[in-house]
Amino acid sequence: MNLFKDFEIRRVATSNAQINLRVGGNGPPLLLIHGYPQTHYCWHAVAPRLAENFSVITPDLRGYGGSSKPPDNAAHTVYSKRTMAQDLSEVMTLLGHQIFQVVGHDRGARVGYRLALDSPERVKRFCSLDVVPTCNMWETIDKTRALGAFHWSFLAQPAPIPERMISAEADSFHTHLMQSWAKLGFQFDQDALAIYLEAMRNPQTIAASCGDYRAGASVDDAQDLDDRLNGRKIACPILFLWGGARGFGGPLKMDTNKGLRGREPLDIWRGWCDGDVTGGPIDCGHFLPEEAPEEVLSHLYHFLSAEHP
């Protein structure tokens, strides 16, 4: 089943990667960035609707889906969020979009905020779905979070241990992650789920996803800390939406009004942004675009079309 009716499949060659993507619609450019363990298909319930008002671009990140999957290096910069953001910056340039809006989910939100930090002149607005900055996550790991987000440390273990273990039961592993992070009772679209599982069976994708998380435990964290130390902030407005039921980093359920270590969730992003920060919880789990598409669309239409000072 084609979940992206009227979208065109493209493959764009950047300086260091081949990026698979779909484009559709007309209007201001809008970049939608998926997370783990998924592909651009995670936007299937919202992208066609957004395409009624925007030129929508839904890429597969390097290492995922149909995009190229280069081997990692010792410094883990191949899958750093800065490298991934550079891929997408080049994609948008090659598609003719100099200034655009960004919505990211999970790892895609990490790429999105890195893009907003590194290229502030290009990102007009940024929406993070269920993600706070990487360094904030690492600083708040306790027993509950360690159990709920075990994949953060597991995938970051030295190669090839996690790769071999995941490959032995790839479908079971990735199905468990998605089911445990979604709100109880939610059922993924079966066509989309089949696409995710097929993509994540690829040994190169498994290796790339481990590289992604190894970067998160090293170079990504270091770059976040350097930005914070030097006072570098996101200039554009931010919309932050998180899952009030098993969201905000998966099954590590927190009070829907309180964030990491008692901080208001929105205050975390306010510490990273010179512009307006708005948002709130949605009654769903981690996979907001699929679990609560109508609520996400309502928030996005208001945010992406708003006039900000």
Q: Is 40 a catalytic site residue?
A: no
Whole-angstrom distance, CA of residue 294 vs CA of residue 227: 35
Q: Is 286 a catalytic site residue?
A: yes
Catalytic residue among 87, 106, 212, 220: 106
Query: What are the start-end ranges of the E strands in the chain?
Result: 8-13, 18-24, 29-33, 55-59, 100-105, 123-129, 238-243, 277-282
Task: Give residues with Cβ within 8 angstroms of 3, minimum separation 6.
Answer: 41, 44, 189, 191, 192
CA-closest candidate to residue 20, choices 48, 43, 39, 1 = 39
Catalytic residue among 76, 105, 174, 286: 286
Token representation of residue 55: 């030129």
Count other C-beta atoms under 10 Å from residue 70's C-beta: 18
Q: Are 192 and 41 in contact (CB under 8 A)?
A: yes
CA atoms within 13 A on the CB side of 285: 20
Q: Are 214 and 72 in contact (CB under 8 A)?
A: yes
CA-closest candidate to residue 106, choices 304, 273, 291, 235 = 291
Catalytic residues, by residue number, are 106, 286
